[in-house]
Chain A
Amino acid sequence: MMGIILGVASLVGMSALVKGMENGMREAMQAIGGIEKVSVIQQELPPNQSHLSDQVVGITMSDVEALKKNATLTKLITPEMNLGRGGVVSRGKKVFRPWNISGTWPNALDMNVHKIEHGRMFNEIDDDLARNVCVIGTEVRDQLFGTFEETGKDIIPIGEEININGQLFTIIGMFTRYESEKQKKEREYQLANPSPERLGPERRTGWGRGGPGGFAFMLKNSTIYMPLNTMWLKFRASAGTNNIPDPTLSTLNIRISSVEELEAALQQARNVMMSTHFAMEDFTFRTQENWDENIRAQVNNYRWSGGIIAAISLIVGGIGIMNIMFASITERIREIGVRKAVGATTFAIFIQILIESIVVAIIGGILGVFVSYGLVELLKILIPTDNEPVITLWAVVVSFCFSVLVGLMAGIQPAIKAAKLDPIEALRYD
Chain B
Amino acid sequence: MESARVRHQQYVRGQFRLTDVVETYLARIETQKYLNAFIQVYADEARERARELDERRAKGESLGALAGLVIAVKDNIVIKDHLTTCASHILDHFVAPYHATVVEKILQADGVIIGKTNLDEFAMGSSTENSYFGAVRNPVDPERVPGGSSGGSAVAVAAGMADLALGSDTGGSIRQPAAFCGVVGLKPTYGRVSRYGLVAYASSLDQIGPFGHTVEDVALLTRVIAGPDPRDSTTVPVEVPDYLKALNQSPLDLTIGIPREYYQEGLDPNIREAIQSVVDRLRKAGFTIRELHLPLTDYAIAAYYIVATAEASSNLARYDGVRYGYRAPQAEDLQEMYFRTRSEGFGTEVKRRIMLGTYVLSAGYYEAYYKKAQQVRRMIKDEFDAAFREVDVLITPTTPTPAFRLGEKLDDPLQMYLSDIYTVTVNLAGICALNLPIGETPEGLPIGMQLMGGMFRESDLFRLGHFIEKQLVGPVH
Query: Do A and B come from the same complex?
Result: no
Show the binding face of A for B, using Cβ within 8 Å: none
Show the binding face of B for A, using Cβ within 8 Å: none
